[in-house]
């Protein structure tokens, strides 16, 4: 496998695909979660920290919000494996992230409750979620209670079970005894059974949470471009945002095309990578790789603090379709579906597709998230850690329907007691009397 193929395979492997059609709502905000698995004191028997990332991302996409999960860390703490409340976990030294704007999510083995199954608990308007991983992961025959992570995060964003329009069975933040739980990704809104909806009031509330960060908007415009021997086929504009762009990659593999910068095969009629229209940054701020014959991945790397909101530039390079080398292509229409990956200075990165209608690729029209770079994570300026209140304990009473056989055994078991205590019938189980 060539280096290029490896790079492409790695990009595919490590990106997390967003379910559903991209672009329904721009993803212009995101939050970061620190998943914490729990092991015993010997570092063994660790809990399974299933973040249900794809489901959580699809649920929050309706609010224009991206869900970023950092790599899972673990703590060794036997006493923390089985706890009744998030307050038992949210004590110093239990793996909290150094950044107070990153949400800590503990995955306990069990959360004992006397009044039903407690699948999770969270602070309302504060930082901290506990997930009962044993109960959540085994739910529905092992399919998992796939919206519990998103539900508890909703509490951290200030949403309760009955406010901001919650309460209906198809709403994400409705209490667990009432809420309809999706059995698959395809039943999460806007698809299938249309579950885990958010009301407009909930969307407004959660988007104003201090845990939300901005997704900078950078667009790549190829409208009206001529594909050969130009210096402005791609027009890149940094629309808005307080971060800078570190890297932009263009992947032509999905459209079966390649770059053709020299007259060496493949492609004997070429044009080289050429910059133009630099505004707010200099040519020396941009380094290029992948501008080689046959390459399908072109990467521009920017100097720190060089490419910022309001800046723009353009560039051209010849591209050919694999099926028609040195023809008059690839035209803008032929590039619809090519992938543009944006990596920003705060560690956030996302991939967008070139639209076949607007002929723009937009960093807020997110197809998938890039692996977040934790080394760049910083607390947003002005962030003040909100003080939350402990959420309502929400144990779910699961209707236990005895099997016919076990029901008979129960009746047989009670029968002698009934006979012995006929006069005390009022104190016997209902089945007796």
Looking at 293, 311, 346, 365, which residue binds Ca ion (CB under 5 A)?
293
What minimum distance in Å lies between the beta carbon of 353 and Ca ion? 21
Residue 138 or residue 263: which is nearer to Ca ion going by CB?
Answer: 263
Does 326 interact with Ca ion (rule: CB under 5 A)? yes
What minimum distance in Å lies between the beta carbon of 376 and Ca ion? 36
Residues between 330 and 389 with contacts to Ca ion, criterion CB under 5 A? none
What minimum distance in Å lies between the beta carbon of 62 and Ca ion? 40
Cα separation, 413 vs 407, in Å, equals 10
Cα separation, 160 vs 143, in Å, equals 26
> If we measure between CA atoms, which residue out of 37, 52, 21 comes closest to residue 130?
37
Residue 40 or residue 262: which is nearer to Ca ion going by CB?
Answer: 262
Does 316 interact with Ca ion (rule: CB under 5 A)? no
Residue 152 or residue 318: which is nearer to Ca ion going by CB?
Answer: 318
Indicate the Cα dihedral angle 245, 247, 252, 254, nearest 10°.
-80
**What x-and-dash track marks residues 258-277 binding Ca ion by CB under 5 A?**
--x---x--x-xx-------
Of 80-88, 233-241, 286-294, 407-415: span binding Ca ion (CB under 5 A): 286-294
Does 320 interact with Ca ion (rule: CB under 5 A)? yes
Looking at 196, 318, 362, 394, which residue binds Ca ion (CB under 5 A)?
318
Helix (H) / strand (E) element for 259: namely: strand 257-259
* Nearest residue (beta carbon) to Ca ion: 267
What minimum distance in Å lies between the beta carbon of 360 and Ca ion? 21
Indicate the Cα dihedral angle 98, 350, 18, 195, nearest 10°.
60
Phi-psi region of 263 (alpha: psi -120 to 50; beta: other; left: phi over 0): alpha
Cα separation, 98 vs 158, in Å, equals 22
Residue 138 or residue 265: which is nearer to Ca ion going by CB?
Answer: 265
Cα separation, 408 vs 252, in Å, equals 66
Residue 273 or residue 344: which is nearer to Ca ion going by CB?
Answer: 273
Residue by residue, DSSP assigns 128-196 as: -EEEEHHHHHHGGGGT--TTHHHHHHHHHTT--SSSTT--STTBTTS-TTTSPPPSSGGGBTTSTT-BS
Of 107-115, 131-139, 253-261, 384-392: span binding Ca ion (CB under 5 A): 253-261
Cα separation, 267 vs 386, in Å, equals 58
What minimum distance in Å lies between the beta carbon of 356 and Ca ion? 19
Residues that bind Ca ion (CB under 5 A): 260, 264, 267, 269-270, 293, 318, 320, 326
């Amino acid at each position: 496998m060539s280096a290029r193929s490896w790079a492409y395979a790695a990009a595919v492997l490590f990106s997390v695909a967003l379910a559903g059609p991209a672009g329904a709502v721009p993803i212009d905000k995101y939050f970061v979660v620190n998943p914490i698995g729990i092991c015993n004191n010997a570092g063994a028997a660790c809990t399974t920290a299933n973040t249900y990332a794809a489901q959580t991302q699809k649920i929050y996409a309706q609010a224009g919000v991206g869900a970023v999960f950092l790599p899972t860390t673990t703590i060794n703490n036997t006493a923390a494996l089985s706890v009744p409340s998030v307050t038992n976990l949210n004590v110093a030294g239990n793996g909290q992230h150094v950044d107070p704007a990153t949400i800590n999510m503990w995955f306990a083995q069990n959360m004992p409750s006397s009044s039903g199954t407690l699948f999770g608990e969270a602070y309302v308007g504060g930082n901290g979620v506990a997930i009962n991983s044993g109960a959540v992961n085994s739910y529905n025959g092992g399919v998992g209670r796939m919206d519990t992570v998103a539900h508890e995060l909703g509490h951290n964003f200030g949403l309760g079970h009955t406010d901001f329009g919650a309460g209906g069975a198809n709403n994400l933040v409705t209490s667990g005894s009432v809420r309809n739980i999706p059995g698959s990704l395809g039943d999460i809104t806007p698809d299938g059974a249309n579950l885990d909806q958010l009301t407009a009031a909930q969307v407004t509330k959660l988007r104003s949470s201090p845990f939300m960060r901005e997704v900078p908007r950078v667009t790549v415009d190829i409208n009206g471009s001529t594909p050969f021997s130009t210096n402005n086929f791609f027009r890149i504009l940094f629309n808005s945002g307080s971060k800078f762009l570190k890297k932009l990659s263009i992947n032509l593999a999905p459209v079966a095309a390649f770059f053709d910068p020299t007259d060496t095969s493949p492609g004997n009629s070429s044009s080289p990578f050429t910059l133009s229209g630099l505004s707010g940054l200099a040519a020396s701020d941009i380094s290029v790789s992948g501008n080689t014959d046959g390459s399908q991945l072109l990467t521009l790397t920017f100097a720190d603090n060089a490419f910022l909101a309001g800046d723009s530039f353009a560039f051209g390079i010849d591209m050919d379709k694999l099926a028609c080398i040195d023809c008059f292509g690839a035209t803008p229409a032929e590039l619809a579906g090519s992938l543009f990956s944006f990596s920003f200075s705060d560690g956030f990165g996302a991939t967008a597709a070139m639209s076949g209608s607007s002929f723009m690729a937009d960093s807020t029209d997110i197809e998938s998230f890039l692996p977040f770079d934790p080394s760049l994570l910083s607390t947003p300026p002005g962030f003040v850690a909100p003080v939350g209140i402990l959420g309502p304990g929400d144990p779910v009473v699961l209707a236990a329907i005895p099997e016919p056989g076990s029901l008979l055994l129960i009746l047989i078991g009670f029968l002698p007691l009934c006979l012995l205590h006929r006069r005390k019938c009022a104190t016997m189980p209902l089945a007796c009397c």
